Amino acid sequence: MKNRIIDLFERKGGDVLNVYFTAGHPELDDTASIISALDSQGVDLVEIGMPYSDPMADGETIQNSSQKALTNGMTLALLMKQITTLRKSSNIPIIIMGYYNQMIQYGEERFLQEASEAGVDGLIIPDLPMDVYADQYKDLFEKYNVTMSFLITPETSDDRIRKADKLSNGFLYVVSKSSITGSSSTISDRQKAYFNHINSLDLKTPRLIGFGIHDKTTYDTACEYAQGAIIGSAFIRALEGKGGLKEKIDKFIGGVRR
Amino acid sequence: MTYQVDDRGYYGEFGGAFIPEMLHANVENLKKRYVDIIYEADFQKEFDNLLKDYVGRPTPLYLAKRLSAAYGGKIYLKREDLNHTGAHKINNTIGQILLAQRLGKRRIIAETGAGQHGVATATVCALMGVECIVYMGQVDIGRQAPNVARMRMLGAEVRPAMSGSRTLKDATNEAIRDWINNPENTHYIIGSVVGPHPYPDMVARFQSVISEEMKWQLKEKEGREHPDYVVACVGGGSNAAGAFYHYLDDERVKLVSVEAAGLGVDSGESAATSVLGTIGIIHGSRTLLMQTEDGQIIEPYSISAGLDYPGIGPQHAYLIESGRAQVYSATDKEALTAAMELSRIEGIIPALETSHALAILDKMKLKEEDIVIVNLSGRGDKDLATYIDHLDELT
Ligand SMILES: Cc1ncc(COP(=O)(O)O)c(C=O)c1O
């Protein structure tokens, strides 16, 4: 079967909306309902966070949601089951985002195989170094038809950007500024210059801009400079508000993509 | 066989730098430059002078006669407790502040558990007139009040880490997040031989002054540079790394690491990482750590906040796995008893961390001719409240 992420970017060259949420949050069994609501809102791609006790790259919002999810009893095995089930009714491309230690403890090949069989299309492992991936895992990812997206930041050198471009498939994750997840301000001229610079490098992999994308304005700006954007913390905050899950999701996504 | 870091940043299969891209530029820059900077004549001179005139080095190597009589052998104490600020931690912070200056960094962050590393960092920042922010778990802020006050008095800002279990590992996470948010002007002074390469090696080099002095001091006293045993407690492992450093390749010297067993290794309330831990990634390093089957990091327990860390430096993981170092553990109770004993028979009140190292002398079954050096990593002033709580049951 063709990888759904690769397929998405072949069909769609812009305005790609990727929404992140933490598995097992707000409630343990919300994964399927959240994905179904996102799917019906026309979201292009979902990124499911595997809750981790020590999420080094994440800000308060994602960290708190992870802690809540772990308290709710979320595990990797359960997440695989949830994805297997929801795949019966949804064909939306799915990425899992987690930390390298989780993959190691599950067993790297077992993890890739089960994720692939459950219907996962891609992974983001922010603390897995590019060299280690290239040496030890690239072939396995290909074997199981799972994409890998590396992160680049304003501090990443051009050489490294090219390396990330070469090693990533699906899309490249452009971290919008030097920060952890969850900050919210407007996109500055300095950030725009950085996006322009990346666009001048003639990279092969499509780009999604993430970190700090939280509303219609920031989403639209990101889409001017890349194929699309990733919204995480702002969506999690929306899920934590009052009201029914579907209503909250409809309202939030509706607001971003008015 | 070498027990030092290889050019890829590993000790055998342990070590490396498993960090998000947001930290890459800073860690890479450090990796490229730390060795050159440390061995510049000008750096060495300033480092040595500060260790001598400000820290008070060399620290004595003291033959503890009554302790020796109690356990057999000739037991020497390497008096790191006599350093300025009361522990070995300042050897590292002096080194790193000089390094930060040469990297052009004007803002310093650090994590702390017991507060010893926080105090040592706040101290060197005051000395150099640099902004200092120390992350400390909210729980530890509660139980280490005197050190919090010391840091504040030294001009540092103490920021509570409110996430997770609100102890040392969470303070470390918060410091890492701060560094991600402030990559340009900030240097992160890690307090032990943990974290991504090059930190474990860099911190070990700064602490290696401990065994450098031991060699010539023992030569003066015993006519030989090598003892039969070097004993040190291991939290992250920096005092042990410094005490072992110049003896690593001398197989005549048995290296002994002592972990905190808490209420007992199998009690569920322990910090004996090498026994309870499995291989994984913590704070950017591949090493032994306490974790669940799903790779979630487990909060350890020890009466001593400085040993209360769920991981262990990658070099120690390698020394233990390869059999080069022997590991013992001591419970809260054994450590308290050892603290009381050293106070009574040698007139030295040790830190709770250090007391764990002293607590295993009995288990070592020393022979008369054995020469042992125990690294007395710190003094007990900071632990007085805990000692007072247990004074009645121990005397
Ligand atoms: C006196 C003393 N000894 C030992 C330690 C443990 O750290 P390490 O294992 O890095 O020496 C600490 C940490 O706070 C300490 O204060």
DSSP letters, B57-124, are PSPPEEE-HHHHHHHSSEEEEEEGGGSGGGBTHHHHHHHHHHHHHHTT--EEEEEESSSHHHHHHHHH
CB B208 within 8 A of CB B245: yes
Task: Please name the residues between 77 and 106 in chain A that touch chain B, using a CB distance below 8 Å.
Answer: 99-106
B25, B282, B295 ranked by CB distance to A102: nearest: B295
Closest CA to B278 of B268, B269, B289, B265: B289
CA distance B320 to B234: 12
- Give the pLDDT of residue A189: 92
Give yes or no for residue A244 having a pLDDT over 80: yes
- Give the pLDDT of residue B143: 80
The answer for residues whose C-beta is within 8 angstroms of residue B70's C-beta and 6 or more apart is B341, B345, B361
- Give the pLDDT of residue A182: 66
B163, B282, B284 ranked by CB distance to A63: nearest: B163
How would residue A184 be classed by pLDDT, with cut points 50, 70 and 90?
Answer: low
A126 contact residues in B (CB cutoff 8 A)? 20-21
Name the CATH topology of A13-256.
TIM Barrel (3.20.20)
Name the CATH topology of B56-87+208-394.
Rossmann fold (3.40.50)
Q: Give pTM, 2 decimals.
A: 0.97
Sign of CA dihedral B344, B346, B350, B354: negative
CA distance B305 to B312: 14
Task: Please give the backbone phi and psi of residue B76, each rounded to the nearest 5 degrees, phi first.
Answer: -100, 145
Interface contacts A/B by beta carbons within 8 Å = 108
- CA distances B108 to A23, B101, B249, Å, are 36, 10, 35
- Give the pLDDT of residue A179: 74
Which atom of ligand 1 is closest in space to residue B191's alpha carbon?
Answer: 10
Please check whether residue B32 touches A, CB under 8 A. Answer: no
Rg (chain B; Cα; Å): 19
Closest CA to B136 of B104, B102, B110, B100: B110
- Please state the rounded mean pLDDT for residues A81-97: 97
Tokens representing B206 are: 């700064």
Residues B39-68: b if buried by 16+ CB within 10 A, e if exposed: eeeebeeebeebbeeebebbbebbebeebb
Please check whether residue B305 touches A, CB under 8 A. Answer: no
Please check whether residue B350 touches A, CB under 8 A. Answer: no
Ligand 1 site-directed mutation target among B353, B382, B384, most atoms within 8 Å of CB: B353
Tell me which residues of chain B have a pLDDT lower than 50: none
Is the CB of B312 within 6 Å of ligand 1?
no
CA torsion, ordered A236, A240, A244, A249, to nearest 10 deg: -20
Residues B313-343: b if buried by 16+ CB within 10 A, e if exposed: bbbbbbbbbeebbbbbbbbbbbbbbbbbbbb
Residue whose CA lies nearest to ligand 1 atom number 6: B235
B18, B164, B181 ranked by CB distance to A180: nearest: B181
DSSP H helices in chain A: 4-11, 31-40, 60-72, 76-86, 100-106, 108-118, 130-132, 138-143, 158-167, 189-199, 216-225, 233-239, 245-256
B297·A60 Cβ contact <8 A: no
Higher-scoring residue by pLDDT: A15, B1:
A15
Give yes or no for residue A48 having a pLDDT over 80: yes
Peptide linkage before B227 cis (omega within 30 of 0): no
- Residues of B serving a catalytic function are 89, 111, 377
B164 contact residues in A (CB cutoff 8 A)? 53-54, 63, 67
Residue whose CA lies nearest to ligand 1 atom number 13: B306
Residue with tokens 């009714």: A89
Element (H, E) at A127: none
How would residue A6 be classed by pLDDT, with cut points 50, 70 and 90?
Answer: very high
Element (H, E) at B350: none
The answer for residues whose C-beta is within 8 angstroms of residue A153's C-beta and 6 or more apart is A175, A177, A178, B21, B22, B24, B25
Rg (chain A; Cα; Å): 17
What are the domain boundaries of chain A? 13-256
CB B56 within 8 A of CB B84: yes
CB A91 within 8 A of CB A4: yes
The answer for residues whose C-beta is within 8 angstroms of residue A121's C-beta and 6 or more apart is A3, A4, A5, A93, A94, A95, A145, A146, A147, A170
Sequence ranges of chain B with CATH classification 3.40.50.1100: 11-50+89-202, 56-87+208-394
Q: How far apart are the first and last CA of chain A?
A: 33
Q: Which amino acid is at B298?
A: I
CB under 8 A, 24+ apart: contacts of A6-13: A6/A147, A6/A169, A6/A170, A7/A93, A8/A44, A8/A45, A8/A93, A9/A170, A9/A171, A9/A206, A9/A227, A12/A44, A12/A227, A13/A206, A13/A227
A99, A100, A156 ranked by CB distance to B21: nearest: A156
Give yes or no for residue A106 having a pLDDT over 80: yes
- Give the number of other CB atoms < 10 A from CB of residue B181: 15
Tokens representing A165 are: 């471009």
CB A252 within 8 A of CB A238: yes
How far is ligand 1, taken at its centre, from the CA of residue A180, in Å?
30
Q: Which amino acid is at B88?
A: H
CA distance B32 to B102: 13
- Please state the rounded mean pLDDT for residues A156-174: 97
CA distance B230 to B210: 11
Tokens representing B284 are: 């950017």
Kindly report the nearest CA distance between residue A42 and chain B, in angstroms. Answer: 30
CATH 3.40.50.2300 for the B11-50+89-202 domain, yes or no: no
Complex ipTM value: 0.95
- Residues of A serving a catalytic function are 47, 58
Residues A194-221: b if buried by 16+ CB within 10 A, e if exposed: bbeebeeeebebbbbbbbbbbeeebbbb
